[in-house]
Amino acid sequence: MLFPIEHGNSAMKTVNFVFPSGLIDNPIRPPVDTEMLEFDGKFWTLSGQRISYMRDKTKDERYFMLTLFAIAKELERSGNTSPVVEADLAVGLPPEHYALRQRFADYFKRGRVNFVFNGTPICLIIRHVFVYPQTYAAVVPQAGRLKDIPRTFIIDIGGYTTDVMLLRNAAPDLQFCRSLEMGVIPMSNDIISRVSAMYDIKIEDDHIADIIQGRPTILPQEVREVVFAKVRSYAYDILDKLRELQVDLRANPAIFIGGGSILFRSFVEESPLVAHADFVTDPKANAIGYGCWPLRSCDGWPHRITEGSYLRRDDKYRFSLGWGRDTAEKIAVGDFLEKLKNRKSDLIVQAVWEYIGNHPEVMAENAKIVITVRSTPTDEQTFAKIQSMIDAALESLKDNMKYQIEQENRSGQEEPTGPNQQDLDDMLDNLTIFDQ
């Protein structure tokens, strides 16, 4: 099962959830009715107080615990009650930190991990960890429309950093990745401190977002004006710093992503430094992008992408397939494909093409594809069934012979020394069950 997860400084994101990157560890079970994860003798709960900025998220266990929360929440949502879950993780790093991808992947590879989430025991086996570049991942689902655009800047304004990537015809230019130590969190901290010092009013991040996005608030007008002015100034500072990094948004289109982009959108759109800007407003965009990637190493970034759940690179389709060993068909096919090594693709194409030929209806637009497989039992299942039938036949034969002996004893006849003709006929009749 694939779990795409974005490890943000401000919030964790999965395909279906966004929750703060904040944790509380309790040595004893807390007397609260909230989401709780028990692991390694500690009881963990989520907190709205996010973890302090960590450039290296592998230096302690907290982001691993947040990952377990993310997986558990997705499992709970899907209704998966399996006690053992085999997981593949799709995660990301900023482009400038992408060289550390092996270290980040190793951080999650723990073998078998046992924990309890909301009273439900889970045994997690993390099989593979795929590390992809943040920023680019957010535009993977729409990259098809970018392939005809010579230059596009992707600007990811996050909690503590603003990351920039240049795309050339939808392909990342690995020689042009920039990062600013400017993000929403230090800006918010500065505004909160300033409002507290000036007006003795304690505001939080939500107050700032409400003011900027025009939602109702009971804060005094002067406070709202200070907040609005500071956010506008910070947004303009980011655009000025980007120009210093040779990111000219007057000559090239830009795609803004990240929570900061949503907050700064109105100021970006009014700025004379930006000629054309699109916005990816879903905060889960990077996580969704990880899920669109193939389950393969990202050492060579893709050059050509189509929309969908697969990726096409160098004009080749790439998929990941997997199945268990619970039926004779799966075992036979799996063993055979292993023998084919790098010749699997030709066989799969031919087999699927033949299936399409026999079922042309599956190619119709919006067709609902239902594939029914009639499983052949494994050898073990077959032997067990045969044994059961033999046991039943012998039991029936024993009962018949016992009854025959009792009848003959009552008639004063001698006890037979072996089966008579009737016994043999009964035995032969019982053997017909093997014809089923």
Task: Report the candidate in 57, 286, 64, 59 with the shortest Cα–Cα distance to residue 163.
Answer: 286
Long-range CB pairs of 403-410 (<8 Å, 24+ gap) are none
pLDDT attached to residue 317:
59
> What amino acid occupies position 90?
A
DSSP-assigned letter for residue 379: H
Dihedrals φ, ψ of 73, to 5°?
A: -65, -40
The DSSP symbol for 134 reads T
Amino acid, single-letter form, for residue 23:
L
Predicted local distance difference test score (pLDDT) of residue 338? 79
Q: Please report the pLDDT score of residue 298 as a whole number.
A: 43
Q: Residue 105 has what pLDDT?
A: 93
Write down the pLDDT at residue 300: 41
Q: Could you report how far apart the first and last alpha carbons of the chain are, in Å?
A: 39
Place of tokens 């053997």: 431
Distance CA 219, CA 201 (A): 9
- Note the pLDDT of residue 120: 92
Token representation of residue 378: 């494994």
Please check whether residue 313 is in contact with residue 299, taking contact to mean a CB–CB distance below 8 angstroms. no
Cβ contacts of residue 275 below 8 Å, gap of 6+? 249, 250, 251, 252, 253
Region label for 87, one of left (φ > 0), alpha (ψ between -120 and 50) or beta (otherwise):
beta
**Residue written as token pair 């304004």:** 157
Q: Which residues pair with 89 in a beta bridge?
A: 3, 129
Q: If you search the block for the tokens 């482009």, which residue do you land on?
A: 95
**Do 265 and 279 form a contact (C-beta atoms < 8 A)?**
yes
Which tokens sit at 51?
């973890």
Q: What is the pLDDT of residue 374?
A: 64
Half-sphere exposure of 277 (CA within 13 A, CB side): 25
Task: Please count the CA atoms within 13 angstroms of the CA of 268 that sit on its side-chain side.
Answer: 22
Confidence at residue 206, expressed as pLDDT on a 0 to 100 scale: 92
CB 136 within 8 A of CB 95: yes
Answer for the pair 389, 434: CB distance below 8 angstroms, yes or no: yes
Dump pLDDT digits (tens) for 305-318.
333 333 344 445 56
- Which pLDDT value is given to residue 6? 95
What is the pLDDT at residue 63? 96
Over the chain (436 residues), the average pLDDT of each successive run of 10 is: 92 95 90 88 91 87 96 93 89 83 92 93 93 85 82 92 90 82 93 96 94 94 96 96 92 93 94 95 90 51 35 51 73 81 77 74 67 68 79 80 76 55 55 48
pLDDT for 327 equals 75
